[in-house]
Chain A
């Protein structure tokens, strides 16, 4: 263990919820950041400040508050643009969630570029958000979905992936960081798509707060992530798309804010990014996301990655030593997420047992039912880390896991 890689523990003071006692006596140990991260003071305070001092609708009025709200909303867009290094602000669309982003792409991309019988490639380890929007296309329009196999390490079988392409393959959508294995997608998957000139969507729900994101360097065509998994508020998501595609694709929802001119006969649509932002957007949440991005940048993404990688390695090795634990996926290429099962104990039991010890982990199928079937399990327990987690917490978790095993195997 390289202690120099860990972040200063003072960081924990930034998160008020970490001082909460579970059942009035146990310190909270929050290992469920992959489901949703906790929020730092700055995000909470700035969100309050927006409502208290600056709030109005965006891009509509000409009064002072409208200007202040619009400034904050658009400033958040600039922050997101820099955060993922998009070429232009026009490529940043605010949605309510990453899920909405994927639905938006599936629907509008189909409308512009696809027809019955065309093919989409996904992988076996996508979560439901990156499955169901494509199932809709299959059910409604007769689109064919192909699934890339994965290996025992929780990585895509890239040979199999490449073999799935035909001249009918129109789009690929893959998780950038698996929410079950914590494995990062290899750049060669994107290269294969680029070589074949098939657009690729990266689902960045798990990667946005845990990897350095540079969409130009990644050479992906679309990228989605959510605010609430990146230390920001829930209710805000980001869709990045290369300008050329977003310009050509039709609008998603109709309403205020996305129009050019409207008459009773019809309407013209606004330019990017407003074209895809019908209705009053989650403006305060967008601002909160911008603040969360500032917060992460102030710490430093590289430092965050180093901290989480070291902690994940430490926890993986500790768990892997236990003969009563079954691990999913391999040791390498693993970032901030570990899935496991206690032999002969259902993950629900593990989670309830740990809960009363103050430890929050996820139990269940992680919105990945097809993957669970592939692994031959009904559910798994999952640890996932954020910047606020510590070695000490992992040790307490391991200790509690021993007690748990003894309790259920007595």
Chain B
């Protein structure tokens, strides 16, 4: 089997793609946004509850998409739950750098993070949008 494919579809990605965690809608929530990849039709809805201390108390998503977009959304919710907004934004920056192939100067993510499994997306430039769709939804939800 090709290394690039094994790198892209690590077991954890396939697992989260098949059985996304935190799938659903937060009730209650005070932040939400839709993510959409117009090039392929994949879409998701992200909701989360931000408390008065700027901590993400709960975060969930629904939607349909490929294994990469679902796994990325699923792993994102796992990572961001319980995080303060400023840390979450740093994670966002690290993650977008990671999947677009500029992973040298990561501030908060490390190889131990499960999100690191998505690094293989860098080998498939056309799939970067799949991996970042949920993250951009998160960014725009912050502004909602």
Physical interaction between A and B:
yes
Q: List 24 A-B contacts (CB under 8 A).
A: A346-B65, A346-B66, A346-B67, A348-B66, A348-B67, A348-B68, A348-B127, A348-B130, A349-B9, A349-B66, A349-B67, A352-B5, A352-B124, A352-B127, A355-B124, A356-B2, A363-B40, A364-B41, A369-B41, A372-B41, A379-B40, A379-B42, A403-B1, A408-B9
Instruction: Check if A23 is an interface residue, CB within 8 A of chain B.
Output: yes
A368 CB to closest chain B CB (Å) equals: 9
Q: Does more than half of chain A's interface fall in helix, strand or loop, or is it mixed?
A: helix
Residues of B within 8 A of A (CB): 1-2, 4-5, 8-9, 14, 39-42, 64-68, 124, 127, 130
Nearest-neighbor residue (CB-CB) of A350 within chain B:
B66
Count, A-B residue pairs, CB within 8 A: 49
Per the CB 8 Å criterion, the residue count for chain A at the interface is: 20
How long is the Cα–Cα vector from A347 to B65 in the complex, in angstroms? Answer: 10
Contact call B9/A364, Cβ cutoff below 8 A: no
Residue from B5, B14, B65, B66 in contact with A356 in the complex, judged by beta carbons closer than 8 Å: B5
Which residues in B have their C-beta under 8 angstroms from that of A408? 9, 14, 67
A353 within 8 A of B: yes
What 0/1 pattern do residues 9 to 25 of A give for CB contact below 8 A with B? 00000000000000100
Inter-chain contacts of A348 with B (CB < 8 A): 40, 42, 66-68, 127, 130
Q: Please tell me if the beta carbons of B40 and A407 are within 8 angstroms of each other in the complex.
A: no
Q: Compute how far the CA of A363 lies from the CA of B69 in the bound complex, rounded to whole angstroms.
A: 15
Separation of A372 and B124 alpha carbons in the complex (Å): 25
Docked complex Cα distance between A378 and B124 (Å)? 21
Contact between chains at B41 and A356 (CB < 8 Å) = no
Choose among B14, B66, B127 the residue with the greatest number of A CB atoms under 10 Å from its CB: B66
Contact residue among B2, B9, B39, B68 (Cβ-Cβ distance under 8 Å from A357): B2
19 further contact pairs, Cβ within 8 A, besides A23-B2, A356-B5, A407-B9 = A23-B4, A346-B65, A348-B40, A348-B42, A348-B68, A348-B127, A348-B130, A352-B8, A356-B2, A356-B4, A363-B40, A364-B40, A364-B41, A372-B41, A379-B40, A379-B41, A407-B1, A408-B14, A408-B67
Shortest distance from the beta carbon of A44 to any chain B beta carbon, whole Å: 25
A353 touches B68 (CB 8 A): no
Q: Residues of A contacting B130 with CB < 8 Å?
A: 348
